[in-house]
Structure 1
């Protein structure tokens, strides 16, 4: 049984999926602006929602820090940039792949 966790590396603008501390996938992400920085720390995925509407693309995974999550985007050109209000943005195809692998309760570390 997999033992997944997620590390978001803000300086690399990458999200890494680890299984037993071994990187199994890497995805490019968009991160928070200088004024609305992505919150560093340790969190968990507390909910999931398909097609959440608005700018959140195809899927939303809410974090244990209120109002923050990992989600898709309707603006694929924003991936790799400092553009969000602190959330972690992914290509829609990538967030759909990730959501099928990680259950609610998965640990998420956001770091520089």
Structure 2
């Protein structure tokens, strides 16, 4: 079985699965009304440590251009509709998640 990610924008949750087994649930921040997080099925296409700016300690780019899963320099934004469409995580959470997924990992984003 391979790991994959399920993101619920309405529940502000990112869940990591191995096959059908839930491994971990993380709180997230997602896109605001004018810049919503895109729904659909994507893959992780790259990882960049220390991207700088508001992206926290790590950026994982998605196959949806300009969107990614990343850390944040504003931890109080987690659990809210705050981003320009990206998925924000606490820095320690995004580092943990990154250690458990590889480039090519599937990401399902839904409401």
Q: What TM-score range do you get, normalising by the shorter chain?
A: over 0.9
Partner of 1:14: 13
Q: Secondary structure at the match of 2:44?
A: strand
What TM-score comes out, normalization by structure 2 length? 0.98
Q: Deviations over 1:15-48 (max 9, x none)?
A: 0000012111000000000000000000000000
Partner of 2:91: 92
Partner of 2:68: 69
What TM-score comes out, normalization by structure 1 length? 0.98
Q: Distance in 1 between matches of 2:10 and 2:20?
A: 20
- After TM superposition, the runs of 4+ consecutive aligned structure 1 residues lying more than 2 A away are none
